[in-house]
Structure 1
């Protein structure tokens, strides 16, 4: 049976690098970058973090549903999937609805390094967003402390590279501690 792994966390958590490292380990795995799906909106694009903006909320849901639709097609053709997204608990609920009935185990892994590590990683990007990194880190930290995030939360502050974090994700999936949904 195929697996779907949702890798989430604040900006600068290493989601894309870890997703790529996971894909390198398998013969048939698809990496769905939700940022890419969001940026397919060419007219009327809204940043997903704009509070109280109906169009931003709609586009957030559109991206989640599109990621789920792609995941369904991949699973149907026997590909495992890793979804790379900034998905707090409210977005996890959208994934639960959009992936209902999928013929795969779905795992939810939150990467949550320290704020300092996230900010350091953000400075390496071409489009650094330190204020957004701080805000997202605070949101994820609060939800993690309250036990609101499904699956498992991994502190990746001391992981030397994405390959080691991918090992930890793979171990969590294998042990069933990141399980979010069953077929």
Structure 2
């Protein structure tokens, strides 16, 4: 993997392992930041819109605001010399939008795509639950059928988080770089 700092965008559906993998990846660098996109949603005190399978215009605008904030913060940290790992649920055509929002290069996109049965088991086992009225099935359908095949896609169903990071680290330069 390159020693120059970069932005690493990790996405996938709820319970795909994004937070854990992003944290472990960021810990591999001497100078790094882990930007959690969901933090920007949680900052809204009043007027926040719930995410659902059918987003209202306002909910969609808040989601896009969250992505713009994460992209700007990621760019600023990378410009300051940090390896910046940003993670959020960014699927469907919005993945291309997010790639355009992040101006810093190199940019690496990593899509975690475990099987739906694994996602369901992970979701039921974790304390943190998905938000809103979004079903795992609908998110996975968008991931599989509407998300552009950018970067490195990993079926991490049978991998531990550490093995997933190892695979990312091994395949990053050849499979995930966005120009």
Distance change in 2, residues 1:122/1:76 (3 Å)? same
Question: Aligned to 1:45, what secondary structure does the other structure show?
Answer: coil
Task: Give the match's secondary structure for 2:94.
Answer: helix
Give the superposed CA RMSD. Answer: 1.8
Secondary structure of the structure 1 residue equivalent to 2:93: helix
Q: Structure 1: state its 5+ residue gaps.
A: none
Q: Aligned residues, how many?
A: 174
Is residue 108 of structure 1 aligned with residue 109 of structure 2? yes
2:53–2:135 contact (8 Å) kept in structure 1: no
- Whole-Å separation in 2 of the counterparts to 1:56 and 1:23: 30
The offset of 1:52, in angstroms, is: 4.4
Where does residue 125 of structure 2 map in the other structure?
124
Cα distance per residue 1:98-149 (max 9 Å; x no partner): 223x2x21111110111111011101222434962222122212236xxx23
The unaligned stretches of length 5 or more in structure 2 are none
In the alignment, does 2:87 pair up with 1:88? no
User: What is the TM-score of this pair, normalised by structure 1?
Assistant: 0.87
Q: 1:89 aligns to what SS in structure 2? A: coil
Once residues 74 and 134 of structure 2 are traced to their aligned partners in structure 1, the CA distance between those partners, rounded to angstroms, is: 31
Q: Does 1:97 align with 2:100?
A: yes
Cα deviation code 1:68-122 (max 9, x no counterpart) = 111111011100111111111322222133223x2x2111111011111101110
Q: Where does residue 157 of structure 1 map in the other structure?
A: 157
Task: Give me the whole-angstrom Cα distance separating, in 2, the residues matched to 1:99 and 1:131.
Answer: 26
What's 1:179 paired with? Answer: 177
Output the CA distance in 2 between the equivalents of 1:170 and 1:49: 33
Point out the more displaced range, 132-141 or 72-81: 132-141
Q: Which residue does the alignment assign to 1:167? A: 166
Q: Work out the CA distance in 2 between the residues paired with 1:48 and 1:29.
A: 30
Against the structure 1 CA distance between its residues 76 and 117, is the aligned structure 2 distance closer, same or farther, given a 3 Å change threshold? same
